[in-house]
Structure 1
């Protein structure tokens, strides 16, 4: 692996992508440490420590919310806007046509996504400023409150821009990379806190070792499923063009067990954080209700929260796979090039066959993702541990790391180098 990293570093364009991604990550981490002026961060830290939903939200922002820094909103508004746009494409044919109309259509879709993200960021910033952190403000004047809101909104838009630039000029999906960095930035703090708890006797040594085993098994299982692929055989008929004969060779269609990666997990987590935003507008009673019945760490909310998370993961797995893997286009391309799946008629029969396989693979992949989340959550709940890198967050970290590996691998393969990992 180190040898392949060295080879990648020697390639000018790959090195540029790596450096650009690292530069954007540095900008993100700097913004995550610059506090919003005039806000008592100690008050917010104490509040986050007592609120399980805010702790989860704080984890995805890399600690920016508890310190109430510029990027306290995180990438959440952008991800939620993407979910809304994706769902709207189902009900509105005009959006669906835009999505299929090439580069210009994608630009318009991105523009609509940014407008929705701006509105969501404004709503979320207003809810946080006038709801959660109102008692932490040094002044309640309208000018000061508006300044805090505009600071959070503009920083959130900047973070969305950073994500777009990473996607365009760097490695990986920008939004996923930002969440990835936010999660792993809390690992040293979690390790130190766990060691102190073991030393003080608050946590038994066997519980800490069991946690390590669960993390290692999860990493291995996620890696296995993310890399698992079913190869559908394709045979191309022989045909004569002029004096040359074409076709006759065999190929395959790679269909991944988990076609959508960790996108369903990210979407599900973002959507489940939305009730907290709504509750901020509705006062202490609504916040108490959400904390009781939609909490990921306390009963009975943990069972409701995790059940909803499982359903959302399965839903978004099917939804995202349907959008990203068009079986009709694949079947038509095969038919136009003289290709066919042995034993399956070209045309509609091929489409039905591919849809049937894709549906089964997606069900297996989504249930696996849901099982990893549930098993880890149950262990954490009964052991009374609060570690960020378990369950949902661990799925995201491993999934994004594998995606970055694949992108770097493809850059090397294009230049006739071996894969990043043998």
Structure 2
């Protein structure tokens, strides 16, 4: 193991330990003796109680805005200066969302008897500031991991937050098996199912549709470099998971929330809509699946912009064999990306349906982590990213030259 790799691994472990320490420090002013002595309860009322949810929400909103607003999209592609402006906007929106959410949590805590020692305005102010500060620390910590450690800091913090619950969930399942509440055959079937699911995720996330590209002769001073061949890789899943699945839920529940504010939460139509759109209900399964499929296509078209790719190829003297440059290349790329996205969209929808199907047929275990396809995707992709970075650092000399 090289010294650089060891340093990066040590930095990452230290940063993740700092994250876990913060989840065990409760907000000042709480009556700790009134809380159940379990780590997950304390974690929900800790310095990092909000986690990275406000930042993820802000990033998704900014990303959606860039899809519909060409000016923001151009700013993202304009270089480092443009990306810094987008990052500042994302951080500003994060602070606003975190303050709103933290104030709501702090205010709600003051209404629960015995939880807060002095349930007054000062507690609400300090608790709100504490939780907002916790979000800022986590965002900074994730950036430091990405810059100085191994892997993507944001994904690593999310993955660790998911993985720490596995021992508790497994212990709970074993206890249920011991008491006869669940059968050993069901547990075995779920274990086999998740092994297969992880294998499929690894296969799909590593799969690429390679488009052959040729670059013309290049003159460097008096030297002429010959025609070079290359590939333009297209991922089967270019849309990721968070944006299609998150926005699919927003499409239905945001209008319902507004309808509840206008008509009242007990209105028959609103109550019926909420009832039919609960997890595991047939209407929820069908509508959210359709929304995820459509959003996967829409977001992939934004991430893998055929027109931008065709312009970039032409700018660097690249052509696809048998395809004319310019509009014909853009049309060809659009067709290939669309066909590839069919596989990725079906794959995303299937992952999203795992908890739905388990709930609908009553075949799941009573632990969210065990039946969450999105969590499995995030953890597996994080592991694959770490593997790639470890290999790259191991094969790179201190001066940045490949061995």
Q: Output the TM-score relative to the length of structure 2.
A: 0.82
Contact in 2 for aligned 1:231/1:252 (Cα 8 Å): yes
**Secondary structure of 1:385's partner?**
coil
**Cα distance, 1:364 vs structure 2:** 1.5
Rounded to whole Å, the distance in 1 between the matches of 2:203 and 2:153 is 24
Q: Does 1:105 align with 2:96?
A: no
* d(CA) in 2 for partners of 1:404, 1:171: 6
Find out whether 1:175 has 2:154 as its counterpart.
yes
Partner-residue secondary structure (3-state), 2:322 = coil
Deviations 1:235-289 (A, max 9, x none): 34557889755333432211111124444467459969996xx79x98xx85996
2:5 corresponds to 1:26: no
Match for residue 366 of structure 2?
A: 386
1:185 equivalent to 2:167? Answer no
Cα gap change, 1:354 to 1:130, in 2 (>3 Å): same
Q: What is the TM-score normalised by the length of structure 1?
A: 0.79
What is aligned with 2:6? 15
Matched position secondary structure for 1:383: coil
Q: Distance between the aligned counterparts of 1:21 and 1:385, measured in 2?
A: 33
The aligned counterpart of 2:46 is 69
- The 1:97/1:333 distance shift into structure 2, 3 A limit, reads closer
Residues 266, 396 of structure 1: 8 Å contact kept:
no
Following the alignment from structure 1 to structure 2, what is the Cα–Cα distance between the partners of residues 76 and 191?
Answer: 26
Q: CA deviation at 1:227?
A: 0.6
Equivalence for 1:371: 350
Structure 2 distance, partners of 1:240, 1:112, is 42
The counterpart of 1:406, out of the listed 388, 395, 400, is 388
Supply the distance in 2 between the matched residues of 1:344 and 1:223 (Cα, whole angstroms): 33
Aligned counterpart, 1:96: 73
1:323-368 per-position Cα deviation (integer Å, ceiling 9, x unaligned): 4434334323433444322221111111111122112222321220
Contact kept, 8 Å, 2:60 with 2:243, in 1: the verdict is no
CA distance in 1, matches of 2:45, 2:277: 23
> Structure 1 residues 87, 360: closer, same or farther in 2, change over 3 A?
same
Question: Following the alignment from structure 1 to structure 2, what is the Cα–Cα distance between the partners of residues 348 and 31?
Answer: 53
Gaps of 5+ in 1: 1-6, 50-61
Q: How does 1:270-309 map onto structure 2 within 5 Å?
A: 295-296=278-279, 300=281, 303=282, 306-307=285-286, 309=288
2:96 aligns with 119
Partner Cα distance (1:185, 1:295) in 2: 27
Name the CA distance, whole Å, in 2 between partners of 1:132 and 1:321: 41
Runs of 4+ aligned structure 1 residues displaced above 6 Å come to 41-46, 239-243, 272-275, 287-291
User: Per-residue displacement from partner, 1:10-43 (whole Å, max 9, x unpaired)?
Assistant: 142x333222222211111000111123335787
Q: Distance in 2 between matches of 1:412 and 1:392?
A: 30
Contact 1:214 1:376 in 2 (8 A): no
Any stretches of 5+ residues in structure 2 without a counterpart?
Answer: none
